[in-house]
Amino acid sequence: MALDHPGTLRGRLVTLEPLAPEHHDELVAAVQDGEVWRLWYTSVPSPDRMAAEIQRRLELQESGTMLAFVARRNDTGRAIGMTTYMNIDSVTPRVEIGSTWNAASAHGSGTNPESKLLLLAHAFEVWDCTAVEFRTDFNNHQSREAIARLGAKQDGILRAHRREPGYLRDTVVFSITRTEWPGVRLGLEHRIRKHLGADIGLEGGPTPPLG
């Protein structure tokens, strides 16, 4: 089946909106929060490259290989970053969640795990994916730890996988399978409850109340 863009995915901490050129100024402000594009081991667009990055993602979306989102904090209403479904395999079906970055002030806010919960729930419960994959640079220890905390398991390391400015990147591959999803979901729900301090439900889509 075709894996079409799900549109807006709403949680209690974060909302994922379909990426559009009109998000440019908000995303420039978000990437300047902590200057996260300066990290050498991750690929985050700099302010002057934001328009090109938005265009790149939308072109990949048009070709059917990516579905792009902007993440927005619900408490402040501010855009905090970008995320995507990518490397879309509609036959298996299987997807990767990646090309994600968030403003520094959003780190530790619970918005990232809830973003992953929203994306994973749609992938497994609507698209019936067999697995969802995550990839990151071997040197990006923060990202590797964050992916493992989601409940993903490491599949392996692709050595000298991709050329980056100044070095050849080793890529660490993680995944969550369909049979692992119920347990992963419970763990993510627990983390989100800790941020909210109360039982919550996720609005929209197939996601039933937590707890």
pLDDT over 90 (residue 82): yes
Find out whether the peptide bond into 165 is cis, omega within 30 degrees of 0. Answer: no
Residue 74 — φ and ψ, nearest 5°?
A: -75, -30
- pLDDT tens column, 134-153: 999 999 998 899 999 999 99
For each of the domains in the chain, give its residue range(s) and CATH number, in order of start.
9-196 (3.40.630.30)
Q: For residue 38, what is the DSSP state?
A: G
**What pLDDT does 1 receive?**
66
Residues 179 and 98 sit within 8 Å (Cβ to Cβ): no
Residues 86 and 123 sit within 8 Å (Cβ to Cβ): no
The sign of the torsion formed by the CA atoms of 103, 108, 111, 117 equals positive
Over residues 51-63, mean pLDDT = 97
Over residues 17-33, mean pLDDT = 97
Tokens of 150: 């989601």
**What pLDDT does 183 receive?**
97
Q: Which band of pLDDT confidence, cut at 50, 70 and 90, is reported for residue 197?
A: confident
Over residues 91-115, mean pLDDT = 95
**What pLDDT does 203 receive?**
41
More confident residue, 88 or 207: 88
pLDDT over 60 (residue 198): no
Kindly state the percentage of the chain with pLDDT values over 70. 93
Q: In sequence order, what are the residues at sequence separation of 6 or more whose Cβ sits closer than 8 angstroms to the Cβ of residue 163?
A: 169
pTM of the model: 0.90
Lowest mean pLDDT among 37-41, 161-165, 169-173: 37-41
**What pLDDT does 58 receive?**
98
Tokens of 9: 């995915």
Q: Which band of pLDDT confidence, cut at 50, 70 and 90, is reported for residue 207?
A: very low
pLDDT over 90 (residue 85): yes
